[in-house]
Structure 1
Amino acid sequence: MDFTDVSLVALRVFQEVAERGTLTSAAASLGYTQSAVSRQIASLERAAGGPLLERRRDGVRLTAAGHVLLRRAAVVLEQIDAAGRELAGLPADAGAVRLGWFASAGGALVPAAVAALRRTHPGITVTSREGSTPVLVRALRAGTLDLVVVASAPPFRPPDTGSPPLELRTLSERGLLLAVPATHPLAAEDSVDVADLRGQRWIAGHSGDDKLMGVWPGLDERQEIAHTARDWLAKLHLVAAGCGLTTLPPSLLPVVPPGVRVVTVRGGPSEQRRILLAWLPGKLTKPATLLANALSAVGPA
């Protein structure tokens, strides 16, 4: 048996003959001559190495081999037809892309980029999930994510040491900010000195790699943690309620609630933060490229 040269036309003819019950009816349905239908059936029987149809005076009946071929042909033809229907009903650049993002990127950056992509390319489906940088990078290398948005602090090392090195694009780079209650004494100025942060109550939480997030880095004292929360918006609402201070990634500026004053901090080491987009070399599909461009357009804002 050799089905390598069997055509889709022959399979469609065979399917029609099996449904109609006679070569004549199948030919009429397809707009073929009866001899053309007979030739297609003969080509299939040569490939199968035996008869697929039992010819009878009242029509045709499938042999055991014919039943096997019909079952398989139906699957193949349905898949081909489904592909045709899908392609006819979707934009040329439709597809799917899987995105991973670190916690604060979900506050404004990722939703804005996904919304922009939906407006310009509605046929693209984006699925996403939050995670810490190590988790996201492992998923990227395992092939379960196409793009990841991660954060980086000085000295701005690559997200991992794996091979091949990840492709990286800087979406934004800005200084870390401080969120204080609008009624707090530190809210009176646009910037505060790092020394003024001593003795303050903090709202903090642990990231996925167990690093304390929310306390200003490098303070030379044991910090008083008044509240812990992983969710950044929860931290900001606790600040608005006057419960303490927390650091603020610049990416969350668009979602700062009323009652919170955002200030810069003078003194101490530079606390720059980068938002990076990462992907595997040679693995960026067209939908992923379009999402990457949308993230780039939103990132610097």
Structure 2
Amino acid sequence: MIEARRLHILRAVADHRTVTAAAAALFLTPSAVSQQLAALEQETGHRLVERSAKGVRLTAAGEILLAHTNAVLAQLERAEAELAAYSSGEAGTVTVAAFATGIAQVVAPAVAHLARTAPGIRIRVQDAEGDASLPMVLDRQVDVAVAVEYRGAPPADDPRLTHVPLYAEPFDAVVPLHHRLAEASEVPLAELAKDPWIGPYPGNPCHDVVVLACENAGFQPRLEH
């Protein structure tokens, strides 16, 4: 019999790639994580992780177990959520992580609506960019994340998450007053392929949005600032 809590540990190690980072996310000591991994390997009869100077990676057997782990834990979490809703009678606290415009566009109107329709539900809001908020959901630090799509994000079919498209946020191209496209009402992105760019810093989800949009238009933006 495989213990579910050990599957949580395996998933955290796979997400964070080091025992130390996984232990911090789970509020455990690194030695406790290592002990639980060893016990899981004994339960399954397979070596599940390999350690190196760069961290920890899953073996082929570990990857197989992880694929089942995501489905098993997702189902357990759904069961827990349904039982909690049944017990609480639509009362409780929901923690939402969102970026600034997501709070204005989505979270704030939702909070106002829930105040009228479900006064027993309390919403806690935490500012976080998309690349920070999705790991917070996976680590169960928050319940919901309002995030933008970014390179390296969990795929839409990840069984640990439920994805709900909310809205598309437009981006403006800002050009100098006498730029050749300054009077254009719409700017085909490919027209800016040879121009120098000022853009968000790498690591910011908006950077990925801009770069991916340019790549889809057939060029890499020349980011000079």
Q: Which one has more relative contact order, counting CA pairs under 8 Å at least 6 apart?
A: 1
Q: Greater CA radius of gyration, 1 or 2?
A: 1
Indicate the structure with greater helix content. 2
